[in-house]
Amino acid sequence: MKKISILLVTTVMLTACVSKKKYVALEQQNGEITSELTKTRVEKEDLENKFAAIEARVSDYNSKIQSLNEEVESGKSKFQIAEDGTVASVASKEKMKETLKNVDAAKLAGAKTLKDSMNLAIQYNLSKAMNTSDLNEDEDIVVDINETVVMISIDDDMLFNTASYRVGNKADKILQKLADVINSEPSLDVMVEGHTDARSISTDKIADNWDLSVLRATSVVRKLQGQFKVAPEQLIASGRSSYQPLVENDTKENRAKNRRTRIILMPNIDKFFALMEEK
């Protein structure tokens, strides 16, 4: 009888022990699920808030565009909106017409829309502002227009020594002209892209071509900010390494063409609307 009682007590204790372990495990699992659910709810609320903010901005922009359209239709607007959505002020259109008088007739004949005309005027004015005749290095700078984006490509020989990322003093004239253009238009964001040729590089300070391309872009950005007073919030530094060559890297001349710094001037929509509100 005593043996049976001891066995019974032992069985009950073991059963209680196992049940407690299961209970603790279930409690821990429940805590983890609750924590994950809370995290998911927080993330959901964060996404909803971000989406609501985006919707509010879109709604605000649409309201401004609608207001502009109404002003245009009533003849009260200082701006005109073309069928393709291009917006231009009446004053800027007049200036554009004056500028286009100086543009090559063949190029002008290819302008079919207001946007085409605006791009030609921008390209002409920018090319004039970036005129390098006093540097005798015209072929080392190329200005191109892609939609509303202005791209200025500068050979690295004008900015850096071979395999170096430090901007030389010989670049001061061209960077000053570039800064003058940027500082005259606060509605621009400016991306500086570094490009290298395909030859590999590895030094104590430069890991590879990715490193070199980014370091060169950063050096140009720092000089534009520090020496030429370009607002840092307008500047973006990026590197492309050797993966967007203009030509094959099969000759010395071609490699020189691929070593370049590209400056991309991009309109900032927030600043654009801010400027419209000020006018």
Coil, strand or helix: which one is 256? helix
pTM of the model: 0.56
What one-character DSSP code corresponds to residue 266?
E
> pLDDT in tens for each of the 279 residues of the chain?
555 555 555 555 555 555 667 777 777 888 888 888 888 888 888 888 888 888 888 888 778 777 766 665 665 555 555 555 555 556 666 777 777 888 878 777 877 776 677 667 766 766 666 554 444 444 567 777 665 577 888 888 889 877 789 998 888 988 998 898 888 777 788 999 999 999 998 888 899 999 999 999 999 999 999 999 999 999 999 999 999 999 999 999 999 999 999 999 887 655 545 544 444
Task: Report CA-CA distances (Å) from 177 to 102, 107, 134, 248.
Answer: 21, 25, 12, 31
User: Quick one: angle between helices 172-183 and 209-226, nearest 10?
Assistant: 70
Instruction: Determine which helix (DSSP H) or strand (DSSP E) holds 98, and give its type and residue range.
Output: helix 90-100
C-alpha–C-alpha distance, residues 233 and 111, integer Å: 34
